[in-house]
Amino acid sequence: MLLELKHIFKTYQNGDEDVPILKDVSLSIEKGEYLAIMGPSGSGKSTLMNIIGCLDKPTSGEFTLDGKDMLALTDNELSEIRAHKIGFVFQSFQLLKGETAIQNVMLPLSFAGVKRNLRRDIALKALERVGLAERVNFLPTQLSGGQKQRVAIARALVNNPDIILADEPTGALDQKSGKSVMELFEQLNREGVTIILITHDENVGKRANRLLHIVDGEILEHKQKEAQDEE
């Protein structure tokens, strides 16, 4: 088992009031899975994603990643986990505007302590992997939305993480670019990359091999791709 959540609760304080966000969420993810988490705004899917990405901690429950207890780790140890085991893809791309595509992709390598003379070659291979070998020296302003997201995916891949976490990866894209990005995720998953994405778009969610619905902080159902295809 790559990742396991058991009886996860997350509560935020609003003045004197406790506001429950996640309510007894349990979830197991195997290495190489492609999972989509769907839910309306305010359902708790982003909070769940932040916990999986070691950006937030639950109020209670258990969380293991690759056999390690994530809730027992220090902030520095969690930073190491994020640097080496998890790649992030965001709706708004979050690229540095003044840096070229390859410079953006090289950034996580510096945080991970990769030697300077190796970074460019590694970043170039990541960009080649997402089909952007001819755009390595382009600034974000010179790239289309779909190309920007491919740079962001290359950046997420560059440290060979165990998991790619994608938060509404097609939300800022037109239909054609969104389809291209989803095809790229499917290709990466076939290559063995574990992918977890959150979305409110049913068409995006259905492309995953496994679909999880979350509403009001609770998991309502799981669907496997085979079951969806029969419906």
Q: For the chain, give the number of residues.
A: 231
Binning pLDDT at 50, 70 and 90, where does residue 225 land? Answer: low
d(CA 159, CA 137): 20
Residue 201 has pLDDT above 90, yes or no: no
- Return the percentage of the chain with pLDDT > 90, whole number: 73
Mean pLDDT of 188-202: 92
Q: Hey, what domains does the chain have and what are their CATH numbers?
A: 32-54+75-230 (3.40.50.300)
Instruction: Determine contact, residues 57/71, Cβ cutoff 8 Å.
Output: yes
Average per-residue pLDDT in the chain? Answer: 91
What integer pLDDT is reported at residue 226 of this predicted model? 56
Q: Pick from 142, 208, 213: which is nearest to 170 by CA?
A: 208
The four Cα atoms 171, 176, 180, 183 give a dihedral, to 10 degrees, of: 90
Residue 50 has pLDDT above 90, yes or no: yes
d(CA 61, CA 72): 12
Instruction: Determine contact, residues 177/208, Cβ cutoff 8 Å.
Output: no
* Beta strand spans in the chain (E): 3-14, 17-29, 34-38, 60-65, 68-69, 86-90, 163-167, 194-199, 210-215, 218-224
Binning pLDDT at 50, 70 and 90, where does residue 41 land? Answer: confident
Token readout for 145 is 């939305």
φ, ψ (nearest 5 deg) of residue 21? -110, -50
pLDDT digits (tens, 9 = 90+) for 1-26: 899 999 999 999 888 899 999 999 99
Residue 102 has pLDDT above 90, yes or no: yes
Long-range interactions of 94-98: CB distance < 8 A, separation 24+: 94/152, 95/140, 95/148, 95/151, 95/152, 95/155, 96/140, 97/139, 97/140, 97/141, 98/139
pLDDT digits (tens, 9 = 90+) for 56-81: 999 999 999 999 999 999 999 999 99
d(CA 92, CA 97): 12
Q: What is the value of pTM for the model shown?
A: 0.88
Mean pLDDT of 78-104: 92
